[in-house]
Amino acid sequence: LGADGLLVASITSYTTDTRSFRDRDLGVDRLTTFHMLDVTWSLLGADGGTLDSGMASARTGIQQSETLQRDYEPLDQLLMDDARQIGDGVARAMRSSRLAEGGSEASAVDVDITVVLADLSIPEIVENADGNWVVTANRYRLSPMGATVTVDGFLAGSAPGPIAMSAGQHRLTIERPMLETVDRFVVAREGMALTIPMRFSDEGRRRWMETAAFIDGLKNGAVLRKVELEQAMGLAEFLRNSRITLDTTGVRNLSVGSRLLWGQLIDD
């Protein structure tokens, strides 16, 4: 387009806060509503790399009483205030000479992104010499596959895996069904590896509890009963259908040579 840069902005929150104050002795009966609008922005250079970014926060309050009523929509004014703040930030970036001269390209790097489910794990279960399935002390983290990654508002690929971007500051957004969206600001560099914890959404948490509630009752060294084995089969089907795999990178003493229950069920 021949432009020196591209400005990307998105509304992150719009909230209201209503407060009342009444004092009969002072003769005060007042209702005040505060409106708040937050906008994040990124200034991209000719190579697509982030030159600067920030958040604009606009605030306004509307006061009413029995004798003072006002019908006013503050959104336009809030947008103008945020736009003024963003304009000041862009002007500072331009004065700092960080815009790429002549469209010169910044070096591209690969950032390796892994996604794990926060605060969730399942125990390793192995087959003993008697053919019984026994719970061990090892625990596996859970890693969702196929999470969508956007960089500075642009779709860049999926995680887990490497995501190409220019070196420097970026805003990463990671989304996946059944999980809460995650936003991170990072300074990308060559060889960078990120492990991003994500949490189930309300729907995802409900489905997890329906299939995995029995996990909390499994103790180290316990032999799985028939009903627990059937529940484990149901959980394995849930993980397989949801494209959630086991992350064994943090397991120090993996039971090499033993038959692993989750490997048998999930890989079937």
Among candidate residues 52, 80, 103, the one where a domain is terminated = 103
Domain count, the chain: 2
CA distance 154 to 42: 11
Q: What distance in Å separates the CA atoms of residue 222 and residue 213, rounded to the nearest whole number?
A: 17
**Region of poorest pLDDT, from 62-71, 95-104, 133-142, 177-186:** 95-104
Residue range(s) defining the domain that contains residue 70 = 6-103
Asked whether residue 247 is assigned to any structural domain, the reply reads: yes
Q: pLDDT, tens digit, for every residue of 130-152?
A: 888 888 888 889 999 999 999 88
Residue 260 sits in a domain whose CATH number is 2.60.40.1120
pLDDT higher at 247 or 227: 227
Q: Give the pLDDT band of residue 100 (cuts 50, 70, 90).
A: very low
Same domain, 139 and 257: yes
Say yes or no: 41 and 138 in one domain: no
The answer to whether the peptide bond before residue 123 is cis (omega within 30 degrees of 0) is: no
Residue at 43 is within a domain: yes
Residue 132 phi/psi, 5-degree rounding, is -95, 155
Based on the fold, state whether residues 95 and 123 are members of the same structural domain.
Answer: no
Give pLDDT, residue 143.
Answer: 92
d(CA 90, CA 93): 5
**Residue 202 domain flag:** yes
What are the phi and psi torsion angles at 90 (to 5°)?
-65, -40
Please tell me whether residues 191 and 96 are part of one structural domain: no
- pLDDT per residue as tens digits for the range 185-194: 998 989 999 9
Query: Is the residue at 56 inside a domain?
Result: yes
Asked whether the whole model's pTM tops 0.85, one would answer: no
Same domain, 21 and 148: no
